[in-house]
Structure 1
């Protein structure tokens, strides 16, 4: 049985996450995920929208995922790889080279991310939508539709 391991925050779960998980799972028989805890994200300076327990539940509901465990720190990866008996360590290509030191334990692969979608883009879009809330609340239905269409085109 080939086990694939990956890590991430998986906040605001979207189709880019699904596609990455599907590609990772296709590399083996079992996909396990280290999901960054809220505390670890705080240490990294990242603010999540969805709490860890909910992100874990969402990941476990995905048919490509076999198990999810908490990622509490950067240093735990070696122990996780050994505990999970992982054969492949996979991450998005934006991490290329950063985990090559693990290649003495596992095959390290970096997969392309899905173009046109990212959690950062979603958060930025929502910040912009929140900033125009007063405009929307004062507008007609027709004005609201124009704002929504314009926002969608810029995303």
Structure 2
């Protein structure tokens, strides 16, 4: 007996939302009938990479404002067995930078798709470009001495 509808789950940090995020969410939506998107909490993200620039509540609101997701939920763990069973998820989609990490879900009947994120835009790349650009600008225009670290000559008599 076939299920009434196919439930797809995808998740991510979605920091500094960009086109690859959009592509992955739209790709996940096209694989089934109902799309659930998990947004990683700040606490979760801090366990495996640098803290997000955009706070959790704002990242959640951005994803909720999209057309594709049918449901948006907080993601509090990178272990997905419980959520897959609880929400009856059929398909799990994640970026290919996680290739192999979620193969264990196939053992419980979930199809896993690693979205080809490629070498294009990523939040990490965006952060690095912003930092480099800021550093160049600062170096070019911020040439004054900092009064807090200017050395005063020692007076001798």
TM-score for both structures, normalised by structure 1: 0.81
Q: Which has the larger radius of gyration?
A: 2
Counterpart in 2 of 1:109? 113
Counterpart in 2 of 1:53? 57
Distance 2:37 2:96 in 1: 17
The structure richer in helix per residue is: 1
Distance 1:61 1:136 in 2: 40
1:121 aligns with 2:96: no
Deviation at 1:115, TM superposition (A): 4.4
Distance 1:136 1:25 in 2: 46
Consecutive unaligned residues in structure 1, runs of 5 or more? 139-155
TM-score for both structures, normalised by structure 2: 0.80
1:63 aligns with 2:63: no
Distance 1:111 1:122 in 2: 19
Distance 1:45 1:64 in 2: 27
Distance 2:30 2:89 in 1: 14
Distance 1:42 1:86 in 2: 26
SS of the equivalent of 1:43 reads coil
Deviation at 1:57, TM superposition (A): 0.6
Deviation at 1:24, TM superposition (A): 0.9
Distance 2:72 2:50 in 1: 20
Counterpart in 2 of 1:141? none
Distance 1:137 1:68 in 2: 44
Q: Which range is displaced more, 47-56 or 61-70? A: 61-70
Counterpart in 2 of 1:26? 30
Consecutive unaligned residues in structure 2, runs of 5 or more? 143-157
Counterpart in 2 of 1:87? 90
How many residue pairs end up in the alignment?
137
Distance 1:97 1:54 in 2: 30
CA offsets per residue over residues 86-139 of structure 1, 9 Å max, x none? 11011112212111111123111112115421111100011012212335657x
